[in-house]
Each structure stands twice: as C-alpha cells, then as structure tokens.
C-alpha cells in the first residue's frame, strides 16, 4: 500500500522553493515532524525522506530535535553487545 498526498497547485506555487526541490523538501519536513512527534521511528522517518542515517541524524541535531533513545533502548543495546 502506498499513500499519495495531493498538494493543491496554489500551495505548491506558493512554496519558496524551485519546483524540482518541492517534493523532496516536503518529504523531509513530513519525516522530521512525524519523528519528532513519535509517530515514526528514526529508521522509517529517514526512509520516508530518503536520507542516510548520518544525514538524518545530522538534520535532527541541526533542528534541535532529540533522538528517541530510552533507558530501555540502552539496556537492550548493552545486553546485545555483551553477547557478542
């Protein structure tokens, strides 16, 4: 299943972006917003906007959006690492 969004021409024309950048920038903004709200995981958000792990993490840092990494995540990572 794919989800398709329709942005009215009047809105697209009002964007202060070159036409060829609009779709990618909208996907980046959507991914960042959904991640910040806890709706998408880091991996799925970066997949949505097509950025690498490094670039998406850098973007979040530039925008002051904290990574969602709980004490439980740390515990799981440490447990996994100790088995290696």
Q: What is the mean pLDDT of residues 54-77?
A: 91
Report pLDDT digits (tens) over 6-50: 999 999 999 999 999 999 999 999 999 999 999 999 999 999 999
Quote the tokens at residue 56. Answer: 């998406």
Let me know: does 46 contact 31? Beta carbons within 8 Å. yes
| Helix (H), strand (E), coil (C) string for the chain | CCCCCCCCHHHHHHCCCCHHHHHHHHHHHHHHHHHHCCCCCHHHHHHHHCCCHHHHHHHHHHCCCCCCCCHHHHHHHHHHHHHC
| Domain range list for the chain | 21-83
For residue 71, pLDDT over 90 is answered with no
pTM for the complete prediction?
0.81
């Amino acid at each position: 299943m794919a989800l398709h969004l329709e942005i009215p021409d009047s809105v697209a024309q009002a964007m202060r972006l070159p036409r060829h950048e609009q779709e990618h920038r909208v996907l980046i903004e959507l991914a960042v917003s959904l991640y910040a709200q806890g709706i998408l995981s880091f991996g799925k958000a970066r997949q949505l906007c097509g950025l690498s792990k490094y670039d998406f993490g850098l973007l979040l840092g530039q925008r002051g959006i904290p990574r969602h990494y709980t004490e439980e995540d740390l515990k799981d990572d440490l447990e996994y690492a100790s088995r290696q």
